[in-house]
Amino acid sequence: AGSVERGADGALTVGGTSVLDLAREHGTPAYVLDEDDFRTRARAFRDAWATAYGPLAGADVYYAGKAFLCTQVARWVRDEGLHLDVCSGGELAVAQRAGMPPERIGVHGNNKSMAELERAVALGVGRVVVDSAEEIERLAAVAQRLGTTARVMVRVTVGVEAHTHEFIATAHEDQKFGFSLGSGAAADAVRRILAHAPHLELVGLHSHIGSQIFDTAGFEVSARRVLGLHAAVAQEHGVRLPELDLGGGFGIAYTTEHDPLPPHELASGMAAIVERECRGLGVPVPRVSVEPGRAIAGPSTFTLYEVGTVKQVDLDGGARRAYVSVDGGMSDNIRTALYEASFSCTLASRRSEAPPRLSRVVGKHCESGDIVVMDEFLPADVRPGDLLAVPGTGAYCRALSSQYNHVPRPPVLAVRDGVSRVIVRRETVEDLLALDVP
């Protein structure tokens, strides 16, 4: 997070609050979210896209709620002037509770339920991104039944191999999302909506190639391909689609090996491509939207853990590794186990002059894959009672958390101007028991 510093006592402070106070007041583990950092990044994206596309047809930034969503965060997103991408009835409920204007909500999902479609249409969301032939029929029927028109986008699979983990790449052909461009399924979906669905208003095409992407070539190819279809629609149907969504996926630096582009460079680079491509195709530039999740939420948060045990293990070749066990683990951060994601870790509660020691930060769960940080050189005197901070956990950590082993999930603490407040409270064992039928 932007405002993390080390205080005079050697303990980290964030947003003016010491981790020692946070741990004392709220316990560990905890997600510590720097509200200014989140808001600043949200604004940076909004401003970057507004500036780059201002001279064109304008732009909207949809915060992808799947990265992390709670009522307060949805309110910040609303207040900072962003739109919100939701992909389930649950996320839609949070958006509503936060007072997000329906026209600023976009709804995603490859298998939305009838109830989800009905809620979205009844609410009058800004757009539903349709993902299958069945869904076009369902949505058309829902809109007709409710006597309204639903604004839709068609999700196009552009056939790009994004350079990221295969589980989070979404635009190659062999996966579940969208209508394939290559096979003609996307063009068919457009035809179907335009010709036979009077209760659906097609506002544009959508493409999203994956997540944690640094190579902008993937975004470029995707934009060019989806604009090709956009122009073909103009030609075949004489319809000028007013919008185009280029998805999210902008990578962040979890460790020093990554160096992400700042939002204004991303935005201006993409705007140049969109403009050039549209000129070449002879179509007016549509209003563009993007859906960053990780790039806004990820860097805002670190997870604060307390060390419980430290164990030294001999490795082949005579080296040793310290297994540092913390009071959370794969239930609050499954990204390492699931995607072999890289995180770093710092001793947060004090300064140490001890030499660095090869360490692995592990959780308290009943499996050896329960690893939070694969390799880190922590001071050799790290011991029980120390606090550790794992940065970059604002996206897809709390969102993907579980209650594995009946370990209650940590709270989310928002810090700002030296004040901390709970924005998602800590789960308790009673919460877990409450779901059990005795």
- Report the binding-site residues for pyridoxal 5'-phosphate: 249, 291-294, 396
Q: Does 179 bind ligand LLP (CB under 6 A)?
A: no
What crossing angle do the helices spanning 216-237 and 185-196 adopt, rounded to 10°?
40
* Nearest residue (CB) to ligand LLP, 136 versus 169: 169
Amino acid at site 231: A
Nearer to ligand LLP, 170 or 349 (CB): 170
Q: Which of residues 215-234 bind ligand LLP (CB under 6 A)?
A: none
Residue ranges of alpha helices (H) inside 208-352 are 216-237, 263-281, 294-297, 335-339
Nearer to ligand LLP, 64 or 84 (CB): 64
Give the strand pairing for 243-245 and 287-290. parallel
* Under rule CB under 6 A, residue 80 binds ligand LLP: no
Q: How far is the CB of 339 from ligand LLP (least distance, A)?
A: 6
Query: Is the peptide bond prior to 29 cis by the omega test (within 30 degrees of 0)?
Result: yes
Sign of the Cα pseudo-torsion (168, 404, 70, 148, in order): positive
Q: Does 67 bind ligand LLP (CB under 6 A)?
A: yes
70 counts as catalytic: no
- Non-local (6+) Cβ contacts of 203 within 8 A are 127, 151, 152, 153, 241, 242, 243
CB 250 within 8 A of CB 66: no
Position 48 contacts ligand LLP (CB under 6 A):
no
Write the binding mask 126 to 165 for ligand LLP: x where contact by CB under 6 A, - elsewhere: ----------------------------------------
- How far, in Å, CA of 206 to CA of 283, rounded? 17
Among 248, 379, 392, 410, binds ligand LLP (CB under 6 A): 248
Which pair of structure tokens corresponds to residue 85?
């991408």
CA dihedral 340, 63, 105, 127 (to 10 degrees): -70
CB of 401 to ligand LLP, least distance (A): 11
Q: Does 292 bind ligand LLP (CB under 6 A)?
A: yes
Q: Is 396 in the site for ligand LLP (CB under 6 A)?
A: yes
The single residue among 287, 339, 381, 404 that binds ligand LLP, judged by CB under 6 A, is 339
> Phi and psi of 86, rounded to 5°?
-115, 155
Question: In a 3-state reduction of DSSP, which class is residue 169?
Answer: strand
Q: In sequence order, what are the beta bridge partners of 6?
A: 12
**Structure tokens, 395:** 């996206």
CB of 64 to ligand LLP, least distance (A): 4
Question: Is residue 294 part of the contact set for ligand LLP (CB under 6 A)?
Answer: yes
Annotated binding-site positions for substrate? 294, 335, 339, 367, 396
Binding residues vs ligand LLP (CB under 6 A) = 64, 66-67, 85, 108, 168, 208, 211-212, 247-250, 291-295, 335, 339, 395-396, 400
